[in-house]
Amino acid sequence: MKQLFVTLFCATLLLTGACSRQEPAPAPAAQRLKVVTTLFPLYDFARNIGADLVEVNLLLPPGVEPHSFDPQPDDILRINRADLFVYTHPAMEPWAVRVASAIDTARVKIIDASAGAKLRQATAAYPQADDHDHRHDEAIDPHLWLDFSNAEVMVDNLAVAMAAADPAHHDTYLANARSYREQLAALDEKYRSTLAGCPNKVLLHGGHFAFGYLAARYGLDYRAAAAVSPDAEPTPTRMADLVRQMRANNLRYVFSEELVAPRLAETLARETGAAILPLNAAHNLSREEFAGGVSFIALMERNLTNLVTGLGCQ
């Protein structure tokens, strides 16, 4: 009888929430750590690490190509209202170094997310480029997040900075980062096992040299029409050489980059009869994707699907 009474008592309390497990409430907006990031990968990494404890803002407007982005006075104000300002690398956002001089660094912590990552030389990765295709600030290929081991380093850098800025939630940030790194490691293994069996290893891209890290990690022979800058124009000799390579390797697909005009890919496709497949370097999202909450991992899954088709892995 006593046991029945206890059971009924707890059941009654459960209805009122007294016997239920209490989940921590999200931090009030005014108390959330404020993080401003330059590019979409950093934005999505910070959201996964911070969850409800942070307010993350993407400085780059959705749909805008990042290489030519130039911050405006309103952007500087947004950064100065933040606790953390996170950028990728001076080669990706050369303006970030200039912006630092206009930021109250006594209040806003500036984070170079590339610290400790393995960087690749852009000039070495694109030996066919003419000298005029390169600028002095392109010695480093800045698309480092497309090597998922680098993405894990960037996640750690963000987590450490967020834990230091908000020590009351130190353990939560680090635990969330561990969980997200596990997702990146699983993605990395999926890419490795899937692409290992592709009969074609030539990744031919009618655009700027954005996928060197991805190609190097998975043993692909990456050939791009233009150098690292999306404004770089390939020479007619370069385009003719790519057409010859497509025919010699019997390539049925040429890749184009989302958010960048596919003019070069269309030219190569027209000359060879190839079809065009999109790849997303994830610098940024379209307005529709951003509004729909598309994640970095979802973009990379979509890329893998298109690589499987384009490289004949099916």
Tens digits of residue pLDDT in 54-85: 999 999 999 988 877 889 999 999 999 999 99
Answer yes or no: are the C-beta atoms of 274 and 256 closer than 8 Å.
Answer: no
Residue limits of CATH 3.40.50.1980 in the chain:
29-112+136-189, 194-310
Query: The pTM is what?
Result: 0.86
Q: What is the pLDDT of residue 242?
A: 94
**Dihedral sign (CA 192, 198, 199, 205):** negative
Judged on CB neighbours under 10 Å (0-12, 13-18, 19+), 110 is middle
Residue 56's closest CA among 79, 72, 76, 73? 79
DSSP 197: T
Q: Which CATH superfamily is domain 29-112+136-189 in?
A: Nitrogenase molybdenum iron protein domain (3.40.50.1980)
Answer yes or no: are the C-beta atoms of 46 and 86 closer than 8 Å.
Answer: yes
Top CATH class of 194-310 equals alpha beta
Answer yes or no: are the C-beta atoms of 144 and 249 closer than 8 Å.
Answer: no
Burial profile 177-192: b = 16 or more Cβ within 10 angstroms, e = fewer: beebbebbeebbeebe
Answer yes or no: are the C-beta atoms of 267 and 288 closer than 8 Å.
Answer: no
Answer yes or no: are the C-beta atoms of 154 and 98 closer than 8 Å.
Answer: no
Q: What is the pLDDT of residue 195?
A: 97
Which pLDDT tens digits describe the chain residue by residue (314 residues)? 444 433 433 344 333 333 333 344 555 665 899 999 999 999 999 999 999 999 999 999 999 888 778 899 999 999 999 999 999 999 999 888 888 888 999 999 999 999 999 999 875 444 444 433 334 344 789 999 999 999 999 999 999 999 999 999 999 999 999 999 999 999 999 999 999 989 999 999 998 899 999 999 999 999 999 877 656 678 899 999 999 999 999 999 999 998 888 999 999 999 999 999 999 999 999 999 999 999 999 999 999 999 999 999 97
